[in-house]
Structure 1
Amino acid sequence: MERLTDAAPATDPALLRRVLGTFASGITVVAALGDDGRPAGLACQSFASLSLDPPLVLLCVGKGSSSWPAVRAAGRFGVSILAEEQRAVCEALGRRGGDKFAGVAWEESAHGAVRVTGALATVDCALDTVHEAGDHYLVTARILELTAREGGSPLLYFRSDYATGAFG
């Protein structure tokens, strides 16, 4: 694989955020049951479908995440695609430390994954691979089960702020 990092000119981080922030992305919660039986999770906007055969998804997690080690250790986790009315859930799971799930309704799936109640859709996953990629981990996971509710619109992140899409 050819790497362009050595040839690329230095990029201003503020410009990078501004330009890449024009790409609207959905917001998810990635969560699992920790060793103590309590949910551990994080808000994640870098999530995508990767493969239909085999069914795989892709997510990117910051190396500084305090919740990722517990999710990774569990080996199975849920990805909850947040609905526009779930901004408070995103804020709770996006903060550092404390009980992120205090006040957040959730359920355990048959696969042992954590699903946020009221999400537009959920994807139960089994960890596949983890690669280091800059200041993030690039994670691939096998899809175990999918659910989706009828109606609703997604919570989006656009230009460093929340947005909603009237898709329902």
Structure 2
Amino acid sequence: MDWKDLASTAVYTDMANENKSIWERVDGVDVEFIGAFLTAHLSIEKYITDYLRLRYPSLSWEDAKLTFSQKIALIQHEPAKVPYNEIFLRIKDFNSIRNKISHQLNYQITDKEKSKFVDFYMKITKESKTKPNIDIDNIADLLDFFLIITKSYFASAISYYHYNKTGRKQ
């Protein structure tokens, strides 16, 4: 069986018409896109979770069982230099898209949502002499850029707090 077969379904349309079924077949769900997006979302959550645990080690993270949105709320006002302070806003936007993907079959990222990641790319690369060669019209390239910057940002903080916790200097 192919994974795409799992994404083939019928949904209730609420139409009570003798010429039209109350069921509508939904095919062509982009499982590759959904799988990639959800995997990226989980990886960002792992970075945020590890950051929070290292940054605030005395708190009971296991008992709290925080949602992704709650974790974002905790970090959204963490100090960050411009333009990296925008990472927290884009994480919220990324999570909003994830929620839509999770609840709407065949969800397509809107131009308005995409423009936020174009803006992020422009702000991050503004001072750069060698900008990454990406197609800003391609949402996959934009999100890949966002993920690289975001994971690098948190990886740096995780390394910092890890080595301070263990008493070793880098």
Q: Same fold (TM over 0.5)?
A: no
Task: Give the TM interval when normalised to the shorter protein.
Answer: under 0.3
Q: Greater share of helix residues, 1 or 2?
A: 2
Q: Give the structure-1-normalised TM-score.
A: 0.23
Select the structure of larger CA radius of gyration.
Answer: 2
Q: Greater share of strand residues, 1 or 2?
A: 1
Q: Give the structure-2-normalised TM-score.
A: 0.23
